[in-house]
A and B are shown apart, each in its own frame.
Chain A
Amino acid sequence: MSDEPLDPRVEQPGASDDSLVSAHEETLHHKSGGDAHYKMLPLVLLFVFSGLIFFGGTYLNRFAGHYHPEIFNEYAQPTNAAAAPVKVDPVVLGKKSFEQVCITCHQATGLGVPGVYPPLAGSEWVLGTPDRVIRIVLYGLKGPVTVKGNTFGAAAMPVIGKVTGSGYNWSDERIAAVLTYVRQEWGNKASPITPEQVAAIHEKEGDRKEWSAEELEKIQ
């Protein structure tokens, strides 16, 4: 039909049956380089990596500081110190409060100014019943008062507590702290005053004007 010569590849197969079989056999048993087939992972590596993971886990567990944001030393243990409210030292708070306000009149020595401001050191009002001294600090004191045999009347004790007309609005805790400080400083040795004592008197008296010495002397 056609005069064109046929492509010789059509007539001549590229491979004979024999050559195909031999090529397949060769491929089936082929070992290129001799070691390309899969081998089992050496068992020793399994133990090595398990050991490394175990070591890493133990190390982190011991030295990672519990992954706690407030631990900066690998030996430290987490505490609830930050969560628990810091205990207020009444003497520290009292001293600071005294130095902010009371010191102006009663002086750092606690001796006051003769004739003007009464002393706190050795004062029978300070060392006597807490019921009077708490009332003085909470509500103030007006009028003449006799301390250690001398009469003071020139200046009034201002209102310190959190009551109407107060210029300071100190909390009951702070008043208890400053009274505790005053009652135990300069050789004074009287019992500390708790915030509860102050709160009880604060609640009992409510809002009222300054005390006078006569009113206070009726309180035992």
Chain B
Amino acid sequence: MRNGFLFFIGLFAALTLSWAGVALWPNWQLGLLKPFYDQNDEKAYPQRTPGIAAEGRMVYDDLGCAACHTQQVRRPDLGSDKARGWGDRQSVARDYIYDTHVELGAIRVGPDLANLGARKPAYDRDDLYKLLYAGVGAMPSYKFLFEQRVISSNRQPADDAITLYGPLAPPPGTEIVPTHRARRLVEYLLSLSQSYEYPEATPVEPAAQGKEGEKK
């Protein structure tokens, strides 16, 4: 082929420049993001995941929760995320700066979990244990995260045994107790919070959008 070398250089340059613009430069740019220090709270946000929750993240990976649950909230004027109570603001890059890998997810079979720990009304551990044990709708039941134990007189009943009624209730004299994996997973889920208002996460006023739109 004549000019084969030139052709190769052109192809290489086109692909390299695209990759640099789409992947390399944004990676560098977002890598420069720092935690946001709030002087009123005297804390830096985002806050790091506590150790037990960091272990729960591994369970989250392991069970493949990200196949059905996203962890990214869209901004209030784009979709119904705010109306569903998933978050009052959109997720921003700074929310994820401490995550070694981000559980963004792609398909929302179940609800978004990015702000689960800051939902109102708040979930408590028993709610989440019950959801995991029983499953709901498309969500399968994760009974293997729990063990059925005999309540014996020589052992204290577990304080986090889940209270179940109806057909799911364990036989009398036994209790359903979450295993370590379930405890860690639930701690992780409750640690998920994107409620801090970063300056860049503040929704743009609809008035400003309209003004900009009129100029077009």
Residues of A participating in the B interface, judged by any CB pair closer than 8 Å: 62, 69-73, 75-76, 79, 81-82, 85-86, 88-89, 92-93, 96
CB proximity of B76 to chain A, nearest CB, Å: 10
**Complex formed: what's the CA distance from A86 to B197 in Å?**
13
Do B90 and A72 touch (CB < 8 A)? yes
- Report how far A86 CA is from B38 CA in the complex, Å: 7
Chain A residues near B11 (CB, 8 Å)?
none
Across the interface, which residues of A come within 8 angstroms of B36, CB to CB?
82
Given contacts A71-B200, A75-B208, 15 further A-B contacts (CB under 8 A): A69-B26, A69-B29, A69-B30, A69-B32, A69-B93, A70-B94, A70-B199, A75-B204, A75-B212, A81-B199, A85-B39, A86-B39, A88-B39, A88-B40, A96-B41
User: When the two chains form their complex, are residues B32 and A93 in contact, meaning their CB atoms are under 8 A apart?
Assistant: no
CB-defined contacts of B41 to chain A, threshold 8 Å: 96
In the bound complex, do residue B200 and residue A82 qualify as a contact, i.e. CB atoms below 8 Å apart?
yes
- From B90, B199, B201, contact of A79 by CB (8 A): B199
Contact present for A75 and B40 (CB under 8 Å): no
Size bin of chain B's contact surface: 20 to 34
**Main SS class of interface, A:** loop
Q: Give A69 to B32 CA distance when docked, in angstroms.
A: 9
Q: Can you report 13 A-B residue pairs in the complex whose CB atoms are below 8 A from each other?
A: A70-B33, A70-B93, A71-B200, A72-B75, A72-B90, A75-B204, A75-B212, A79-B199, A81-B199, A82-B200, A85-B39, A86-B39, A96-B41
Nearest CB in chain A: distance from B32 CB, A: 7
Q: What's the minimum C-beta distance from B108 to chain A, rounded to whole angstroms?
A: 19
Is B118 located at the chain interface by the 8 A CB criterion?
Answer: no
In contact, B40 and A72 (Cβ under 8 angstroms): no
